[in-house]
Amino acid sequence: VSTQSTWAKEQMQEFRETIKGKFDEKEIKHMYKMFHKAAPSGKMGKKEFKKYIEELAIFKKVDHQESYDQLFRGYDRDHDGTITFKEYLQYHLGIVFSTEELFDIVFSMYDADNNGYIGREELVEVVTNSTRWMGDCDVESKDVQDLIQAEVDKIVGFCDVNKDGQISKEELIAAAEKHPEILEKLKNLA
């Protein structure tokens, strides 16, 4: 029993370091319970993640064919195809408190091919998916597609300093340093 108790204390200490004092022990335990309900093995793959997202019922429109890849990329910090509890904590830390983790989370959500750049098509795909999930608009409608394209054009125009049609990490960092609200906007569009 003392070994298990020592392990639990060590784990809690590691979790506290991960979340930098932003969540209390009760909140960590709640998140741990939610995570392990979805991923009893301690690692959440895409299938478990899809089930987890659907059970949260945060989206108005649920398409059972949807895989929620952009959200998965935001959680999967090391891009190994699974989410650990530490990555789960880091995601919530970044999203809730807009910590420095937010930059990596947002960039990963948009960078579908993981090439270090956010292309125009990737922006369109992420914003279209999110708009569809929210269920307020018909993303097949030409008016909605035009609005999404206009939003993407604004983001690319604002961030793409070298005008190569894509946004590098460096360009996004520079844009976010001048205008921190750009990360919030991209987070909300994802």
Residue pLDDT, tens place only, 14-48: 888 888 888 888 998 899 999 999 999 999 999 99
CB 106 within 8 A of CB 190: yes
With helix as H, strand as E and coil as C, how does the chain read?
CHHHHHHHHHHHHHHHHHHCCCCCHHHHHHHHHHHHHHCCCCEECHHHHHHHHHHHCCCCCCCCCCCCHHHHHHHCCCCCCCEEHHHHHHHHHHHHHCCCHHHHHHHHHHCCCCCCEEEHHHHHHHHHHHHHHHCCCCCCCHHHHHHHHHHHHHHHHHHCCCCCCEEEHHHHHHHHHHCCHHHHHHHHHC
Q: How far apart are CA 44 and CA 36, in angstroms?
A: 9
User: What are 84's strand-pairing partners?
Assistant: 43
pTM of the model: 0.81
Examine the pLDDT at 5 and tell me if it is beyond 60: no
pLDDT for 1? 42
pLDDT for 57? 82
Examine the pLDDT at 101 and tell me if it is beyond 90: no
Residue pLDDT, tens place only, 62-91: 677 778 899 999 999 999 999 999 999 999
Residue 2's pLDDT band, with cuts at 50, 70 and 90, is very low
Q: How far apart are CA 87 and CA 36, in angstroms?
A: 13
